[in-house]
Amino acid sequence: MEIFVEVARQRSFSGAARRLGMTRAMVSKHVIALEQRLHARLLHRSTRDVSLTDVGQAYLEPCALAVQQAQEAARVVTHAGIELAGPLRIQAPSSFGSEWLADAVARFSLPHPQLSPLLHVDDALLDPIEHGFDLTIRVGGIPDSRALAIRPLAPCRGVLCASPAYLARAGRPELPEDLHRHQCLHFSHLTGGVAWHFARGEEQATVRVTPAFTANNGMVLQHAALRGLGIVYTTTFLAWRDIIDGRLVPVLTDWELPLNHLSALYPATRQLSPKVRALIDFLVAEYQPVPPWDKALSEAGALSL
């Protein structure tokens, strides 16, 4: 129902997918499942537009109200409902874990003094079941496993940035292939390896960079970029503050980088405990429909998303 409401508001499956941090295919799948359950067609689809059927129009208002009430109920339970207690083992990438998740987990824990979070930050793609984590936060790299359930949390947008000093010295790239003559700072866990992929409308480009500096941690690379070492392939959740303050300048902004997603993974074979469910609901409320880092960039006019 929440997904249907967002599609109706955006008049677009792709727009709803971006807002919800999901793939377009997953959004379509959920809407089709809802229509099958209701035995009614809710949306007219065309290659250019999505519009409500008469039934969909009648269903939208009570559906939106139900979604709003459900979200409010989840927030009440998360913050002040049942008493949550005991250990809560969480694993997350180092950069996101320290930049965003640590603060969120601390605020989530405040109303629950009997709760004992154990936050393990590690850029290795650890198996949450094998290592005994109740919840794993993953940026991309989602395993194909029936043993794991996945809840999308937010879009994870890539961005190329450099310091003003570097750009004054080396110039600004105008096309992806210009990166061949630039110092490139490379994140070693990128799924495409040293091949950086770009899209602009129907136009596609792939550049195999020769990294001037490589690290398995995004914060390390960002510090190198701030020092003027080169152009860094980073994420908006890491770079947002430096972009707003002008310490880093986005480049090639008319080209899109592949969109990853921030997701919550947990064992599908176990009954989801109240504390894990409450934390996931808390994070969804924190990061949807637009994560705070992207919202800050948009409001500052620092980057068009």
Q: What is the pLDDT of residues 127-149, one digit of tens each?
A: 777 788 899 998 876 665 667 88
Dig out the tokens for 250 from the structure. 């986005």
Same domain? 42 vs 175: no
Whether residue 193 sits in one domain with residue 113: no
Spatial distance between the Cα atoms of 230 and 261, rounded to a whole number of angstroms:
26
In whole angstroms, give the CA distance from residue 3 to residue 22. 10
Q: What is the longest distance spanned by two Cα atoms in the chain?
A: 63
The residues near 270 (Cβ < 8 Å, ≥ 6 apart) are none
Is residue 305 in a domain?
A: no
**155 pairs with which residues across the strands?**
261
25 and 167 in a single domain? The answer is no
- 163 and 243 fall within a common domain: yes
- Asked if the model's pLDDT at residue 248 lies above 80, the reply is yes
If one counts the domains in the chain, the total is 3
Residue 63 lies in a domain: yes
At which of 50, 79, 108 does a domain end?
Answer: 79
Q: Any idea which of 22-26, 134-138, 208-212 has the lowest mean pLDDT? A: 22-26
pLDDT in the model for residue 279 = 94
**23 and 54 within one domain:** yes
Based on the fold, state whether residues 49 and 177 are members of the same structural domain.
no
The encoded tokens of residue 257 equal 């980088």
The reply to whether 26 falls in a domain is: yes
| E strand segments, the chain | 43-45, 50-52, 86-92, 115-121, 135-139, 148-156, 158-162, 184-187, 195-200, 203-208, 211-215, 231-235, 249-251, 260-267
The reply to whether 123 and 272 lie within a common domain is yes
Mean predicted confidence (pLDDT) in 276-302:
91
Decide if 219 is inside a domain: yes
Of 79, 101, 125, the one marking the end of a domain is: 79
Asked if residue 19 and residue 57 are part of one domain, the reply reads yes
In a domain, 87, yes or no: yes
How high is the pLDDT of residue 100? Answer: 95
Residue from 190, 80, 91 nearest 131 by CA: 91
Alpha carbons 267 and 93: distance in angstroms, whole number: 18
Say whether both 105 and 146 belong to one domain: yes
Element (H, E) at 284: helix 274-287
Give domain status of residue 146, yes or no. Answer: yes
Place of tokens 């105008």: 174
Contact 303, 297 (CB under 8 A): yes
Among 59-73, 137-151, 157-171, 279-293, name the one with the lowest average pLDDT. 137-151
Q: How confident is the model at residue 72 (pLDDT cuts 50, 70, 90)?
A: low
Do residue 146 and residue 175 come from a single domain?
Answer: no
Supply the CATH number for residue 8's domain. 1.10.10.10
Whether residues 180 and 60 fall in one domain: no
> What's the CATH number where 275 sits?
3.40.190.10
Whole-number pLDDT of residue 234: 94
Half-sphere exposure of 184 (CA within 13 A, CB side): 24
Answer whether the bond into residue 291 is a cis peptide, omega within 30°: no
The answer to whether residues 17 and 72 belong to one domain is yes
pLDDT, position 77: 56
Assigned domain for 97 exists: yes
- Phi and psi of 46, rounded to 5°? -140, 175
Instruction: State the pLDDT confidence band at 20, using cuts at 50, 70 and 90.
Output: confident
Of the residues 22, 55, 79, the one at which a domain ends: 79
Q: Characterize the bridge pairing of strands 203-208 and 195-200.
A: antiparallel
Q: Does residue 30 belong to any structural domain of this protein?
A: yes
Query: Rounded to an integer, what distance in angstroms lies between the CA atom of residue 299 and that of residue 252?
Result: 20
The answer to whether 159 and 196 are in contact (CB under 8 A) is no
Q: Using one digit for the tens of pLDDT, what is the confidence trace for 227-236? A: 999 999 999 9
Q: How does residue 78 score in pLDDT terms, banded at 50, 70 and 90?
A: low
**Residue 242: count of CB within 10 angstroms of its CB:** 18
State residue 19's pLDDT score: 76
**Range of 48's domain?**
2-79
Tell me what the pLDDT averaged over the chain comes to: 88
- Does the pLDDT of residue 80 top 60, yes or no? no
